[in-house]
Amino acid sequence: MLVLTGLGAFVGAVLAADQTSGEGPTTAGPSPDRLTPGQVLDLSVWKISIPTAPDPTQIIMPQLAAYSDSSFKVVSAVQFTAPVDGGVQVGAKYPRSELREMNSDGSSAQWSTTLGRHSMEVVQRITHLPVVKSELVAGQSHDANEYVVLILLKDAELSVKYQGATIAVLDASYLLGTVFTLRIESARGFIDVFYNNKRKAHQADIRQGCYFKAGCYTQSNLSKGDSAGDYGQVEILGLTIDHTAQ
């Protein structure tokens, strides 16, 4: 199954106009104020958790197709914002505005790292970090119990984490607003991470019940010293999921 998400003309216009935009949003291509995220990304195999306070909210299809709010909206891309004082899911420490992979029938996606080939490719930029604990996650593979691989920006270092350990540094001096292409791929008992089409990590891993996540998972809250209203932010220009039998 191949799911392509993103409007080609919209993404092409943004990429042509803005490869390193800095922290401020820019406008290119179709007028963002007339679009919802579901018109830019195909959200048919996703649900989202948004950081409403005091408790987060999950939006599923078909409501997600037309949904937009301050934490999930279209600027010059689909913008995901998670304030440090946002609502937090049960079992988590930090707020998120983050998509979770689903099946087309609305059930939770669950795949194996040993059966078939499974990949997520994201064209995105990280545009804002909290001031004190300047960290966020911008992409994950997960299983039923824990994260498997996550993409972490900590200060200026963009890295790949696997079960708490750094297995690759993607960019030691990432500049906020820089567009990059990330691909996480699982097959034959390995997880590969590609950064701008270059493989950066090759990690053995055997498990079932896996799924992808994309968006902004801010790694701070008020207890870390950040102020109410501070936030993490990620903007996604394109998103592709691919599942094949081989």
Mean pLDDT of 62-86: 97
pLDDT digits (tens, 9 = 90+) for 210-221: 999 999 999 999
pTM: 0.89
Residues spanned by the domain of 20 = 2-241
What one-character-per-residue DSSP string does the chain give? -EEEES-HHHHHHHHHH-SB--SS----SS-GGG--HHHHS--TTEEEEE--SSS-EEE-TTGGGG--BTTEEESSSEEEEEETTS---TT-SS-EEEEEEB-TTSSBP-B-SSSSEEEEEEEEEEEE--SSS-EEEEEEEE-SSSEEEEEEEETTEEEEEETTEEEEEEETTPPTTB-EEEEEEEETTEEEEEETTEEEEEEE---SSBEEEEEEEE---GGGTPPTT-EEEEEEEEEEEEEE--
- Looking at per-residue pLDDT, the higher value among 197 and 16 belongs to 197
Task: Judge whether 143 lies within some domain.
Answer: yes
**CATH number for the domain that contains residue 98:** 2.60.120.200
How many structural domains is the chain composed of? 1
pLDDT digits (tens, 9 = 90+) for 217-245: 999 999 999 999 899 999 999 999 999 99
pLDDT exceeds cutoff 50 at 188: yes
pLDDT digits (tens, 9 = 90+) for 19-55: 444 444 333 445 566 899 999 999 999 999 999 999 9
Task: Judge whether 246 lies within some domain.
Answer: no
Task: Judge whether 96 lies within some domain.
Answer: yes
Task: Judge whether 40 lies within some domain.
Answer: yes
Identify the pLDDT of residue 32. 62
